[in-house]
Structure 1
């Protein structure tokens, strides 16, 4: 069990209101004791009453300043209990004994049971000793002892309420996490089902289409009429371009299936596969990945948006800047996750065998993905280097 039970409320206005109430209680105890009979002063019991009142007031003020500091709180409540118990015996007609009861209540609710019982016993001993010394009434002393015990009992009841409230909050948090885990599992299951459907239908269809186009291209190339008829030559070119589009679509479909099935993998691992994955060939540029900041898991849409941006940047580099390396810089900040893909530009006269492939809508699709994920995407040329930057809120 912790030494001090954490406060259930941390609002500033609430805490200041409690402090004002405690100061008002101290003022009531002080004026009640000063105006009671016998009074505090320098005659008879006066010095002892003044001393007990000073100890009680010092402990009470220290209690106000001892929020969430167990040792200081223990000292302050012990002083308050001793001073209040002594006042109960020295000035039975005042309400000073209430300080001892309050100290026992607070100790039972905030400190360990052993410490709170010790403080209540100290207050009871101070009450009993001063009552016997001044020759006070036994009935009054017993009544005050019951009051201190009642404060201790109420404190234990309060402690039980706090513990039950904390257990309820912990259970609620566990339930919330379980619901989130269940929802995430359901989403992952649905993504896996979609990936399976894409693979079984679209990937197989594109694969078969690519094979048919390759067969048609081979037949046209083998036919003597192709070289004599310009229309057949154009048809051969169209079949070749259609085959390239089918193969590109098949590659993108595989990537989509892979991304849907890899929702549990962190983004840096997915990006690292661009450099070492099985899709690397002789035309693919060299890819270097740099990661800065604390890696964290993003939402699936955000992860896919960043991954697609990296894939498109690598593909565009292969098309328009063949032979140039691509640097992927992934930066995690407190509020955002940013990926910057950069590659040097090629000379204008450099050959670009893949430059005509694709439909030309890659960057437009990336901007739409980033926007759907709540982020932004922009491109620019800096020092003869092409840069694509996507920023997603954390």
Structure 2
């Protein structure tokens, strides 16, 4: 966007160019009719020379749009300095308009140092002219030049502030767009994480059940042997539907019954795996935001899935602890000697890769980081411990 008055960017419209041309004609007529008039000797000759230079600079100023950028600087010097001398030589005319116009336009389009330098040159020209013709109008002329330079400088400052405001507005709009884009990507990641968990904990198990049923059918098993597997498949399907509803509630920001959910999945673990599972809540319960509650629930769910894969039948202890300003979840399972405890988190991920998507432990860490939490998963004495801490 081009702002009127910006350095070397002002494009003159034809009406404005016409007004400036008419102003030059008026000045020429005025100066020609006021003593000392142009002549070929003495002050008349000095008037002719200075008027010619100032007029040439004015014409160059009018044509600066089609000339190199430095042409406008030359125009200001020619208008201001010889015009200042002419103002001193012909104090009763309007010649002071030459340096006044040059300083006003330059002040609006140049930095302060360059405007000051041009102002010094114009002042020297005016003083030189008054030195030859008298000092009667010297002070008014100098005050007028100072006022014009100040007016141009104020215009320059206004333009700079306008450009800075436009830049700040543009940056703010860009930042808002990037913020919206980041929020969209974060929401997509969150939805993808929920889809993964639903698939990993419901559809993957359902696939195993269906394969088992298919194997039983191929072996010629009777209905009595197949029916429990079909019932289990139906149960997994219903659980998947329930998990989907819970994910939708979390995405909508609605409150989740966290402790009830934890007790529920531990009950399923006891029933299906025939293993001991305990849950305890410590501290004064507080209402947790939906995203934090879902993160805690998914972490416990993923931890139980890993127990089934790597240490089936082992005892599981789950603790939900409320502390001032934070909440903690700890899931500990004793690793049977026949299975062996993984050496670290990376090997745990490798085990998951063999049994499923391999995204479980990484997904838990991503969930924790998304809500500002910290997840620690690894061997702890003769057990495997998953510990999640989330600030509130």
> With structure 2 as the length reference, what TM-score do the two structures score?
0.50
Matched residues in 1 for 2:200 and 2:26: separation? 83
Give the structure with higher Rg (CA).
2
Residues 275-332 of structure 1: CA deviation (Å, up to 9, x unaligned): xxxxxxxxxxxxxxxxxxxxxxxxxxxxxxxxxxxxxxxxxxxxxxxxxxxxxxxxxx
Q: Once the 2 structures are TM-superposed, how far is the Cα of residue 40 of structure 1 from its aligned partner? A: 2.4
Match of 2:175 in 1: 178
Matched, 1:149 2:153: no
Residue 28 of structure 1 aligns with which residue?
A: 26
Say yes or no: does 1:206 pair with 2:203.
yes
Mapping 1:206-245, distance limit 5 Å: 206-223=203-220
Preserved contact between residue 7 and residue 109 of structure 2 (Cα < 8 Å) = no
The residue aligned with 2:286 is: none
How far 1:117 moved relative to its partner? 1.5
Give the corresponding residue for 1:102.
101
Are residues 8 and 78 of structure 1, via their aligned partners in 2, closer, same or farther at CA, if it must alter by over 3 Å? closer
Q: Relative to structure 1, is the Cα distance of residues 8 and 37 closer, same or farther in structure 2, using a 3 angstrom cutoff?
A: closer
Q: Where does residue 344 of structure 2 map in the other structure?
A: none
Matches of 2:136 and 2:158, distance apart in 1 = 33
Equivalent in the alignment of 2:131? 132
* Partner Cα separation in structure 1 for residue 221 and residue 177 of structure 2: 65
Partner of 2:35: 37
For 1:167 and 1:65, locate their aligned partners in 2 and report how far apart those are by CA, in whole Å: 29
| Residue of structure 2 equivalent to 1:75 | 74
- What SS does structure 2 have at the residue aligned with 1:223? coil
Deviations 1:180-206 (A, max 9, x none): 122112112211221122112245433
Aligned to 2:83: 84
CA displacement, residues 222-260 of structure 1 (integer Å, 9 cap, x when unaligned) = 2289xxxxxxxxxxxxxxxxxxxxxxxxxxxxxxxxxxx
- The question of whether the paired residues in 2 share the 8 Å contact of 1:53 and 1:84 is answered with yes
Normalising to structure 1: TM-score of the pair? 0.50
How far off is 1:130 after superposition? 1.7
> What is the aligned partner in structure 2 of residue 324 from structure 1?
none
SS of the residue 2:137 aligns to: helix
- Stretches of structure 1 that go unaligned for 5 or more consecutive residues are 226-394
Residue equivalent to 2:157: 160
How is 1:336-355 mapped onto 2 (pairs within 5 angstroms)?
A: none
- Corresponding residue number in structure 2 for 1:117: 116
Partner of 1:360: none
Distance apart, 1:75 and its partner CA: 1.6
Q: Distance in 2 between matches of 1:32 and 1:203?
A: 93
Secondary structure, in 3 states, of the residue corresponding to 2:185?
helix
SS of 1:45's equivalent? Answer: helix
Mark the runs of 5 or more structure 2 residues left unpaired by the alignment: 223-392
Q: CA deviation at 1:151?
A: 1.0
Shift of 1:144: 0.8
